[in-house]
A and B are shown apart, each in its own frame.
Chain A
Amino acid sequence: MATVDLTSLDNTIEDGKHRAPLVLGGMDYSDVTDAVAGVWEKKQPAIWWPIFGLAVSLTMLFGALIMHLFFTGVGVWGNNNPTYWAFDIVNFVFWVGIGHAGTLISAILFLFRQHWRTSINRAAEAMTIFAVVCAATFPGIHIGRIWVFYWLFPVPTEHLAMWPNFRSPLLWDVFAVGTYATTSLLFWYMGMVPDLATFRDRSKSKIGQFVYGLLSLGWTGSARNWHRYEMAYTILAALATPLVLSVHTVVSFDFAVSQLPGWHTTIFPPYFVAGAIFSGFAMVVTLLVPVRKLYGLENLITIRHLENMNKIIMATGLMVGTAYSIELFIAAYSGVASEQFAFYNRAFGNFGWAYFIMFTCNVFIPQLFWFKWCRTTPWFMVIVSIFVNIGMWFERFVIIMALCRDFIPGSWFYYRPTWVDLMMLIGSFGLFFTLFLLFCRYLPVIAMSEVKNVIPHADHGHEGGHGHEGGHPATSH
């Protein structure tokens, strides 16, 4: 089907007169279907099994450690006076941050009509949901008396005669993360229904037909259904856009609303949101580069997609760097001794090494993306994005370790994670990768119906004069 020479086609430069294609290799509708459904139909690449085995073992380790925590108590963690918050909230904020890229790509880029999002939104949304699952685990298991977890929600109880405090940032978190997880799940699933119908129609096995038939809700692709579907998709995008910005804002309120030097700042919400997008895009790049290579999706997830994401990583990295500098400036300018101490301690105190890692990974390393080679070379961008993820984990660590040196020097304390802390962090990655690998294995990794919509032919009259010939789609370009 390919009528265009793959090697000569460059879609990285957007020319106003001639729209660069978003799908390379001259793929037509059925090529797209074959490529995406092929991920699910064909045998998984050999490397899938060892990775999956490792991820599942780590997930089981995670589960075992959670049981250990439940039956022994939160003392198995290194949290101790005055560091009441430690790895659990660091991991929570880290994973919630990762979860921001998906909805940003699906919702905000959709509203801005950034059509290049179509190839990457599905995987990014899936990543969002899996990251939020990992995130929600940590505060969930931190509550101590896990069997009364429902006290987090406004459940009427006659015996207790108590309600949650709706004026507390920790409760806002419950609502923000809960709403975000639910809305992301609805958005993801709704976007997937037409593609699940494709799987239903291609499935050879009875089980596949039944399961995908059930999941696709009897979707036929009726124009009347599409009309309402597109409307609903736009509305969900419009709802998810303020939501995605609010979630990390609320998470930052956990810190900013408290009255602690170094935390009680109004810069936290925007700075957290920028950091979240930064880390989320880094994770998308980390995941999608191997996925496109392993499943041969280079024509759908092109260098242009990756480059665009890298540009966003660089932009948000600069925002985060600006925020770090502004924080230092405000502390110095404020004239408040405890505020100045908090930041001096952050940079040069007992956790100065973490601050150094954070600054290097988040501010200096992404600057490599100023060079075109760096932002268009897949293996290299993965390395950079892994550094960004490390840096963003340390950012949260640095903020929370402010607790180690509180107001009474007599109670200063050097926090050390226990083996349970470290293994739980690793275990949460296992959970994340298990879910992501299962997603690659059983669900459409790329939004086929959306990609078909941006293939030149479907885009009426925008593909340089070959508009209405009515021929085969592949011949129109």
Chain B
Amino acid sequence: MAHSHSKQPKPAGPKSKTIGLLAQFDDPDSLVAACERARDAGYEKFDAYSPFPVHGIDPAMGIRRTRLPFFVLAIGLTGCLVALAMQYYTNAMDWTKIFPGYAFYISGKPLEISPANIPVTFEVIILSSAFATFFGMWIFNRLPQFANPLHRIDRFRRATNDRFFLMVNADDSKYDANRTRQQFEEWGATAIENVDMDLTDQEIPKFFKLAGIVGLFLLLVPPVMIFRAYGSTNRAPRLHVVPDMDWQDKYKAQQTSPNIGTDKEPVYLYADDRAMRAPVAGTIARGDLQEDDRYYRGYEPGTLPPPAQPVAADGSSASFVSTSGPSAQDSAPAAQDPATTGQYPGEPDWIETVPSPFVVSETAIARGKQRFEIYCSVCHGYDGNGNGLVNKRALALAATGQAQWTTAKSLHDPTVKVQPIGRIFDTISNGRNSMGPYKAQIPVEDRWAIALYVKALQETGIQPAAGAAPPAAPQQ
């Protein structure tokens, strides 16, 4: 194996430093043998370069086993804890003030860590371990390192192709330019050359510092702008990326249908400008039949006086306000005094007892009390004396002319006390005077429960409050 001196011209000038001596070998076995001998010769700072990992070179060079696996294990375990903590925080805790968690039972899975949390935990372990392996390997290898004197040697380009190299660093205690070269020749090197570091371009150009500072400053601008936008309010309308999700071509309930044609040839969904259709005459929607007058409307069947004007077909919204005086074939109580019987002229026969299927019970009264306190007590007060909070506040406002208000009726008023339960039910359902209807909010069963509770309240002996005297005019 003839050696050949480097044909590289040595960089002239003092600004160059030899950092090591490089020997080339033509096959991996010679490299391994040379590494063994270099180690035996007492060299410590040397390295071998090959296009692929050469078998047996680690013991030959005395490379200690890397600690990379322990690093990966530590990061992987951290990833496991982070994943569990993240899932617990976001899905099982909701009491933190900033970025509160979102603790909701979804598809019956428990909030706490359960098998449903394993997949994400597993993936986070793998992901963090993979990052630790990848970046840990490069960091342990001190890569990337783009400026390496070895890359300036033409011959060394074959280190990634088909040649094998051994370099002894110049700062090794055993290094001696001549003796090391001699040893390389003995060990079968096919080429030997100096590795020189060019010192002329070691210094960073001055403008780099300035450019770096300016660059860092500019990098800060976007996050600052984003943060500023994030923390400020904006009066401009929201930006709609895809507008047709917000403004859809459809009609909503109770809208008129606008002209979808041109002005010259208008096109409407329906000729009457509506977007919805009224029910077909003579039909009743499912669940709306409600033919039991006693239960659904609180009066004896067939006692409803004929209305003065046509009203809704099912009679459920029969207007008592507009009925005019006692009708001819009105029922018997019409002749009696409404103040003692509660049966007013022009009204049907109100039932005196609760209708089936409603059953009077402790539970029903309790339910009635609870509903009463939700819906009625705000005006009528908890004791039914018409002193609810809304009433008080409204009267106070009315006293200064800021509002108009009719005093809420005391339920202990004699004119109310005599009313049959059917009429109270009707008042709750359809409202009376300035009181609004509660039919839509309260299901029929609960209305009976409230009516029952009102009757119970009236039996307690509570007297009408002195200040809340009933208006002189009879109820109409």
Contacts and interface: CB of A to CB of B under 8 A. Distances in A.
A, B from the same assembly? yes
B139 to A, nearest CB: 10
A166 B115 CA distance: 11
Interface string B78-114: 0000000011001100000011111010110100001
A386 B259 CA distance: 55
B241 A229 contact: no
A158 B99 contact: yes
A183 B126 CA distance: 8
A274 to B, nearest CB: 20
Contacts of B146: 213-214, 217-218
A235 B143 CA distance: 19
Interface stretch (A194-202, A312-320, A394-402): A194-202
Interface in A181-232: 182-183, 186-187, 190, 194, 197-198, 200-202, 213-214, 217-232
Given A172-B119, A453-B52, A232 B160 contact: no
A414 B140 CA distance: 59
B26 A472 contact: yes
Contacts of B107: 167-168
B468 to A, nearest CB: 46
A235 B133 contact: yes
B38 to A, nearest CB: 11
A240 B130 CA distance: 8
Interface string B59-70: 001010010110
A224 to B, nearest CB: 6
- Most A-side CB within 10 Å, residue of B51, B61, B127, B129: B51
B126 A452 contact: no
B56 A70 contact: no
A228 B119 contact: no
Contacts of A165: 91, 102, 104, 106
A476 to B, nearest CB: 9
A307 to B, nearest CB: 26
Contact of A175 (B119, B143, B156, B161): B119
Given A158-B98, A175-B119, A246-B119, A202 B127 contact: no
A157 B98 CA distance: 9
A232 B61 contact: no
Interface range, B side: 35 or more
A246 B161 contact: no
A227 B66 contact: yes
A227 B133 contact: no
18 contacts: A147-B241, A169-B119, A176-B119, A176-B123, A217-B146, A219-B143, A220-B49, A220-B148, A220-B156, A232-B68, A239-B126, A243-B123, A449-B53, A452-B52, A453-B53, A460-B55, A460-B56, A470-B29
Closest 5 CB pairs of A and B: A29-B162, A217-B144, A232-B137, A163-B90, A167-B116
Given A183-B126, A246-B123, 14 more contacts: A161-B102, A165-B104, A167-B107, A176-B119, A179-B123, A194-B52, A197-B160, A218-B148, A220-B150, A224-B63, A224-B141, A225-B143, A228-B140, A472-B27
Interface of A: 28-30, 33, 70-73, 144-145, 147, 154, 156-158, 161-169, 171-172, 175-176, 178-179, 182-183, 186-187, 190, 194, 197-198, 200-202, 213-214, 217-232, 235-236, 239-240, 242-243, 246, 250, 253, 448-450, 452-453, 457-460, 468, 470-473
